[in-house]
Amino acid sequence: MRLIVLLLLALGACGSVAYWWMLGQPVEIRDAADDSVQCLSYAPYRRPEQTPLDPNTIVSPSQIEADLAILSRRTDCVRIYSVDQGLSEVPRIARKFKMKVILGLWISRDAKKNDAEIQRGLEVLQRDSDAIRAVMVGNEVLLRREQTPVQLRRYIDRVREATSLPVSYADVWEFWVRYPEVAQSTSFVTIHILPYWEDEPAPIDRAIAHVLWAYELAQKTFPNHEILIGETGWPSTGRNRHGAQPSLVNQAYFIREFSLTALSKSMRYNMIEAFDQPWKRQLEGTVGGAWGLYDSEGKEKFAFFGPVAEEAHWMTGILGAALGAFVVAGLSLLSRPLPRRAAFFTLLFGGAITGAVSVAQWFSFERGARDTMEWLAMGLYTIAVPWVGIRLTQTLARWMDSQRTARPATLASVAHWFNTNARTHRSIERALGVFRFLFLFGAAIVCLLHVADPRYRDFPLALYVLPACGYAILSWLAMRETHFADDIRPYAEVEERVMAVWLIPAAISIAIREGIANPHAQFWTLLCVLLALAVLLPDWRLRRLRNARQSQHA
């Protein structure tokens, strides 16, 4: 038994280090056609406090100038989506960098705001027409069902009558096919093709083929109109959608391959997008804020030539593993009695796993938290990860020395201890019980949200690796102990059992819906089942043994 546990911990430690090492290994990708793109979607809301959803957010000309100075190294064209909140200055500033602007006028269901936006846009057109390549009246208005095709055409015609510049409307390709009459009011057709966001997402190896298919369909549907791909791209992080996996390597692959395809097919396009947009996490989850060629600090995320590594900070994970091993195992040498050899290696391996996983969870938290509530809730859980890892490791180390496991206290017994100071459990058992309830509750909520509304929700894998695997090992060891049934304390109370029972069918339904092509969903299901069984199996076995003894006495 000791050997099996040590082997599992050793494999976990080696796997954690290998995981971080692999993230840092350069991946060979075909070079792009050149180091530029035809046009880039530009939204300046890349700072934490900035969001277009807040009407009080005004972007300063100095920020726009700094942004365009960065983008001018990569493109001579930017597409904006509105002329409100300071964006009316973009064409004037773009002129300094010899850049052109595809001017966007935001159309919503609010007629007064639409009129004000169009009036402001016409003033910009009159002032800066030499810096403007075309005008986009509305973006995905039909997709959002905020205007009918007839109403939308009235807005387009109004702008078209007021300018000699080309005028278009932008929407996903399906809605152009559904409402082809809109093209009668436009100079050209602007379609969005985002393989990741399709109703049937295209994996990265089929993404370029999907873009070509949709582009050719648009050409056949509108033979008398030029086609502009108004948005295409790939996210660098976030949840998998079936086989479509966001990653930095995949983003670099898509951008490079698409640039080559666009060159060979003479396609006009605008890439989404210039900078990562943290505010989009509120609407689209982690993935929404990760479409930029530059991160939110204005740093280029990958080069257009040469190999690409998935994680630039991969050494942080390895250092985390080393620090975890040093702290957990090293501090044990200061205590008396000293741990035996097996217990020491348990602490060493468990500490390494804890350190590596804690760094992974911190990265996930930092890149995925969306609002104040998530920052508080996920911050609490992120802080809990190293503590639960340390406690589980210490419990296994003590088992190595004594062959007795600590039994997690139930929430009811912890509450009873808090109110009465009754010492029915040791401190480590109370800690294990609190952490068990905390992670059970969190997993139950995550599963509920995924069952109800899964589209924009991540799978918190790094958060649950330690508690799911650790409590599973702990419960397995507990059930094998000869004195298991002699402990009169319950292994779980109704609150733990209810959450554990809910986790199994909920997680399995998630795995079925997401499909085998989504390994994140399958791994999440495995973690949920492990965590649930770590509660249910010992509780079931304990009840069964006690019932058998009662029957014998009767």
Please answer whether residues 475 and 536 qualify as being in contact, where contact means their C-beta atoms are separated by less than 8 angstroms: no
Of the candidates 101, 96, 105, 37, which has an alpha carbon nearest to the alpha carbon of residue 66?
A: 96
pLDDT in tens, 294-305: 999 999 999 999
| Nearest residue to 473 via CA among 540, 524, 406 | 406
Rounded Cα distance between 316 and 27, Å, is 19
* 55 burial level (CB within 10 Å; 0-12, 13-18, 19+): exposed
Computed over every residue of the chain, the mean pLDDT equals: 94
pLDDT tens for 123-165 read 999 999 999 999 999 999 999 999 999 999 999 999 999 999 9
Interhelix angle for 427-452 vs 494-514, to 10°? 40
Structure tokens at 405: 């496991």
- pTM score over 0.85: yes
pLDDT value, residue 46: 93
Produce one character per residue of 14-34: b if its CB has 16 or more CB atoms within 10 Å, e if not: eebbebbeebbeeeebeebbe
Q: Is 457 helix (H, G, I), strand (E, B) or coil?
A: coil
Q: Where are the alpha helices (DSSP H) in 311-369?
A: 314-332, 341-368
Tens-level pLDDT at each residue, the chain (554 residues): 889 999 999 999 999 999 999 999 999 999 999 999 999 999 999 988 899 999 999 999 999 999 999 999 999 999 999 999 999 999 999 999 999 999 999 999 999 999 999 999 999 999 999 999 999 999 999 999 999 999 999 999 999 999 999 999 999 999 999 999 999 999 999 999 999 999 999 999 999 999 999 999 999 999 999 999 999 999 999 999 989 999 999 999 999 999 999 999 999 999 999 999 999 998 899 999 999 999 999 999 999 999 999 999 999 999 999 999 999 998 888 777 788 899 999 999 999 999 999 999 999 998 887 777 888 889 999 999 999 999 999 999 999 988 778 889 998 888 888 888 877 788 899 999 999 999 999 999 999 999 998 988 999 999 999 999 999 999 999 888 877 877 778 889 999 999 999 999 999 999 999 999 999 999 999 999 999 999 999 999 888 887 777 777 65
Name the strand (E) or helix (H) holding 146. Answer: none
pLDDT score at 481 = 81
Instruction: List the structure tokens of 132.
Output: 């403007």
